[in-house]
Amino acid sequence: MLFLVGLGLDEGDISSKALEALRSSDDLLLDRYTSILSEGYIDYIRHASGKQISIIKRSDLEESVESTVGRAKEKNVAILVPGDPLIATTHHIIIDAAEKLHIPYKIFHSASIFSAAIGESCLDIYRFGPTTTIPFWCKNYKPISFVDVILKNLSNNEHTLVLLDIDAEKGETMGISDALSLLGEAWKAKSPEIDFSKLKIMVLGNVGKKGQKIEYGSVSDMAEVSAEFKGMAISIIIPSSLNFAEEESVKKFVLKK
């Protein structure tokens, strides 16, 4: 039996049903490349399940997914995923592999940054367009297509949830300063007629966790307070025009200088 278990956003978000599944499992495999999970949460899972946890690589759930999933033919295997287990497209590959190998599986859902960030923003969920991600740049890889998603959403009068890349090897998330720098460069290339520094954005740090922080203001304002978000897991929302209810709701997030 294969269990695909969502761990949510913070320690304790895992459901009691999911914990029971972990206790009945022979192998616990943790995916750490789609999101960063605190060591405290990993220790909590070990203690609550009474089992050891093995860290798996991205290749284990992509190129070698059938080999990984195939372990569940003879025993119970649980794959642990930060957030909700079916948000990342990679994890649909796991389900496809289980079905191909005729291995029964069960999904345990949990909180996701998608629902949590949008909910905490107080913006209308029905006014959000497609989500995009700002990836880390390297010498020969500097994609700017994420701006196309944002601009299209704005043209449709839709808000955009922007996720920031993670470095799974280093266990680090992209900081707000780097995100705004990359976003600014990409913006100038795609839409130089719009003053990027005056664009209104919402920055959400550690959503669903202790010390959650949300600020709303211009890009230049956020650049000035970027140090306050240091070390946090960050998401950005670029809103389109706000309706009356949204304007009232976000007032509490407006950055106070």
* Number of domains observed in the structure of the chain: 2
Give, for all 257 residues of the chain, the pLDDT tens digit: 999 999 999 888 999 999 999 999 999 999 877 777 777 888 999 999 999 999 888 888 888 999 999 999 999 999 999 999 988 777 889 999 999 999 999 999 999 999 999 999 999 999 999 999 999 988 888 899 999 999 999 999 999 999 998 876 777 789 999 999 999 999 999 988 888 999 999 999 999 988 899 999 999 999 889 899 988 889 999 999 999 999 999 999 998 76
Rounded to the nearest angstrom, the gap between the alpha carbon of residue 193 and the centroid of all alpha carbons in its chain is 31
How many whole angstroms separate alpha carbon 78 and alpha carbon 14? 13
What CATH number did the domain enclosing 32 receive? Answer: 3.40.1010.10
- Domain span at residue 157? 113-253
pLDDT value for 177: 92
pLDDT value for 257: 63
**Domain co-membership, 194 together with 157:** yes
What CATH number did the domain enclosing 159 receive? Answer: 3.30.950.10
Tokens of 209: 């966790």
pLDDT value for 84: 92
**Domain co-membership, 137 together with 54:** no
pLDDT value for 88: 72
Q: What 3-state DSSP class applies to 55?
A: strand
**Domain co-membership, 99 together with 117:** no
**Domain co-membership, 94 together with 152:** no
Exposed, middle or buried: residue 124 (CB in 10 Å: 0-12, 13-18, 19+)? middle
Residue type, 137: W
pLDDT value for 166: 83
| Integer CA distances (angstroms), 74 to 21, 71, 93, in order | 16, 7, 20
Q: What share of the chain is helix, strand, coil (3-state, %, to 5)?
A: 40, 25, 35
Question: What is the crossing angle of helices 16-23 and 39-49, to 10°?
Answer: 70
| 8 A C-beta contact, residue 6 and residue 108 | yes
| 8 A C-beta contact, residue 250 and residue 216 | yes
Q: Which long-range contacts (CB under 8 A, 24 or more apart) does 190-199 make?
A: 190/144, 190/147, 190/148, 190/151, 191/147, 191/151, 199/238
**Domain co-membership, 86 together with 208:** no
